[in-house]
Structure formats: structure tokens, C-alpha cells
Structure 1
């Protein structure tokens, strides 16, 4: 899937500017809109800090949408879908070479405020290089076999923070994923840096340590309705950044080679592809 042209078609009109959405200071009404309301909104540009922004391509179809998530100058092309065919196509494009891949992985689900109620996994995020898939499992009619096979491929290394719990969640809710070749970045960082405290680290602290990047984790987004049929751009940005940061930390720490040497300096972790 290639990059889309900068012209955006909305309501039958050609728009000359893309929709750039700030991850900070977004009006409350904007963060809560659904796809059914998108066609009623004129594209707008909001001034943003340059570190992390998102561009909504507003595709004229219901099967999927695409975004560019700009992470400190690097553009991560992100596909959001609940369509098994679109997810299979993404896997095919990523895995076409058959070579070993390091894959950033994360899972989101609707928060529960009742200990007796557990909501199923809503989204699975996968990131390889500058490509990210946000697959809305909860709205998909099925889990496509290429996705199941991709996670079961022993040649690929899946990296994440608390990844064992995420894979257990996938197995419990959808009966796939548990056999993935997984590396928890917390334990890997603890080993590389000789710091046991990193076994309890989160995305924010590991991104700062390994990448030298400040990653915001707003609680209102963390605890948002991940089971909504149409994710907001803020949710898309959050989900993509989590998976991309996991991929990048795994790449820098050489997660595919557990016996690798000492940790890199922040200066060595510049995002280069």
C-alpha cells in the first residue's frame, strides 16, 4: 500500500490541505466524534508542537482508513481496519520477503471498572519499520489466517512491554497469538543496562532511556473506549506510537539477538531506516 496524495476528497470537494491534528490541546468535541460525523466536518488545521502529530487521510470507504503519524520527524504510515482482507493484505506486504522481522506489538481493550467484568481485546497493533497496522479485532467477523500464521512464525520476534499479558489476552479472547516468539522489552532493557528496576518500566520511561524521546501517555486516552467502531485520531496516534516505540526500542536493543552486547547510548538510537 503506497502513500496517498496530499489532496483530500471530502463531500465531493477537493481540499488543498491535509488534516493535521494536535495531540495536545484538542477541543473536547473533536476527540469524541465518530465516523458518521466526519463527513459533516470541514478539514481544519490546528497548530501543534512538532514532536508527535497525525494526518488523517479520510479515505472515502468504510473498510479502512489510513493516517500518517509523525513521530519526531519520522512518518509512520498507519492502517486502521476491522476488515480481515485489509489486514491480510498488510501482512502480505510486510512479510513478502520471508526474512526475519522485529515487530512492535501492543493490544488495547475497553477498561473495566468492575473486577468481575473483563472486556475482550479491541485492537491489535503491529509495527514494522515505518508501517503500522491497527486491527480492530472486536469488530472483525474473523481473525484472518495470514495474521494467525504471522504471529506464529518463529522467524519473527515480537517485542512489547508486558507482551506476555497481551498475548495471553489474544489467546483467551480469540484463540491465537500465544505461541508468538515474544521478547518483553522491560526484561531486555534491564539486562542490557544492568538495572533490575527496568523490569517494572513503562513505555514512557523506556522511550526516554533508550530513544531519548519524550512520549506522552494521557490517562484519558489510555482509559478510553477502545471498542468504539470508529477510533478517534487521538486514539490512533496513541495506539500507533505505542507499537512504533516498542518496535524502535526492540531494534535499538537488538531484541532478536538476546546475547547482544552492552546498551547503546541515546545518540546511537536515532530513528533511521
Structure 2
């Protein structure tokens, strides 16, 4: 199967671990609401950066996406429930709403680091919602739509979505089922389908951004 997910079925309440497979890639996906696991994920990601000797002009590219409980009606504005970050084949899904002790400082510093490049479709809106809902600032956000329009030489990509960009840049298709898009992202326990969906949004953002920035 070209896209699949495997649950490691860890016996803990603090975190879960999955392998999401997307064609030839296997993305190690950590789902947690616990700050210590966020701290570890960020530290490991930064260590890989040092080992891999990324070029100074783009030392780290991170795919970023968020999810929240759907707003059914104008009076509703539900806060960001999950933050997804992907660097390479490692994904973090942080359940912000269920964090018991407040957002870790390591995450604040990571997101606000202007030497890192955070990429996503409509990322400016995501960054604004993160700031409005949780006080998290994204220091260097790059919208994949504008980047694709520039690198591919066609303004039509300014109105594209992640599915269209994945087909054009990566030559691979992905589905975004409405039943998952509009599901309860504020639940304490996410389903495997939600984890796969959330992981792929961030992973594809990273992979597309990495490809376009290298062009």
C-alpha cells in the first residue's frame, strides 16, 4: 500500500508512536501532550541539523500545519488543538489543548528562530492563529503557494492547495477526506486516520518546501 499507518501501541498515556508510510518514505510520528517529549523531539531535530551540516542560508526547513475543532457557525472560533511539525522523516503532533503544564519554552524558542524556515500552505494564517490562540510566534514563515509560483514560474500556484502541489512537485497524489478534515481534533485520543492525515500535511509541506528551496 502506498499510504499506510502502523501504530506501535505503546502502553503509555503520555505519548503514542506511529510509522506513517507515504510511497517510499516512512515518517516516525510522535503524538503527545507532554512537554518533556516535545523538548526531546526538538533537541533531537536540532542535533540532526548539526550532524547533517545544512547550508547556512537554509539550515533547517520545517513543515508546519495545525488542526482545530471545526467551527460550525460564525460565533465559534475554536482554538488550535494540534500543532504538527516535520523535519525530514520525523513528525511531531503536539496536542496543545491537553498540555498539562503550559507550552514548553523549547517550542517557543524553536518556532521563533528566524534562521529556520517554516513552510506550509497558507502558513501566515496558521501562524496568526497560533499567536492568537496560544501566544506562539513563528519567526520565519514561507507560504508554499508563493514559493511554488516563483520557482515554477506560474502564478496559478498561488491559489493551489497541498494536493495540487504534491502532484506537481513530487509527482504523488494524496487524498484529504472531509470526514477527517472536519473531525474532532480536540479529542484526547486521536484516531489512526487523524494521525495519518495530520502527519502527511506537515510532511508534504516539508518535502515540497525542501524540493522547491533546493531548485
Q: TM-score band, normalised by the shorter chain?
A: over 0.9
Could you tell me which residue of structure 1 aligns to residue 154 of structure 2?
195
Could you tell me which residue of structure 1 aligns to residue 8 of structure 2?
57
Matched, 1:254 2:213: yes
Could you tell me which residue of structure 2 aligns to residue 207 of structure 1?
166
TM-score normalised per structure 1: 0.74
Could you tell me which residue of structure 1 aligns to residue 183 of structure 2?
224
2:22, 2:137 → 1: CA distance? 28
Could you tell me which residue of structure 2 aligns to residue 42 of structure 1?
none
Match of 1:151 among 111, 127, 134: 111
Could you tell me which residue of structure 2 aligns to residue 15 of structure 1?
none
Higher-Rg structure is 1
Deviation at 1:177, TM superposition (A): 2.0
Match of 1:72 among 23, 36, 41: 23
2:6, 2:155 → 1: CA distance? 39
Deviation at 1:196, TM superposition (A): 1.2
Could you tell me which residue of structure 1 aligns to residue 77 of structure 2?
118
1:176, 1:212 → 2: CA distance? 34
Matched, 1:164 2:124: yes
Could you tell me which residue of structure 1 aligns to residue 45 of structure 2?
94
Deviation at 1:102, TM superposition (A): 0.3
Match of 2:98 among 139, 156, 159: 139
Deviations 1:19-55 (A, max 9, x none): xxxxxxxxxxxxxxxxxxxxxxxxxxxxxxx110000
Can you give the 5+ residue segments of structure 2 that lack an aligned partner in the other structure?
A: none
1:80, 1:113 → 2: CA distance? 26
1:206, 1:218 → 2: CA distance? 17
Could you tell me which residue of structure 2 aligns to residue 103 of structure 1?
62
1:193, 1:156 → 2: CA distance? 23
What RMSD in Å do the two structures reach over aligned CA positions?
A: 1.1
Larger RCO of the pair (alpha carbons < 8 Å, separation 6+): 2
Deviations 1:43-71 (A, max 9, x none): xxxxxxx1100000010111000000001
Moved over 2 A (4+): 96-99
Could you tell me which residue of structure 2 aligns to residue 245 of structure 1?
204
2:61, 2:154 → 1: CA distance? 24
Deviations 1:115-169 (A, max 9, x none): 1110000000000000000000011121100010001111110000000000101
Deviations 1:189-232 (A, max 9, x none): 01111211111100100000000000111011011110000000
SS at match of 2:129: helix
Question: For this pair of structures, how many residues does the alignment match?
Answer: 206
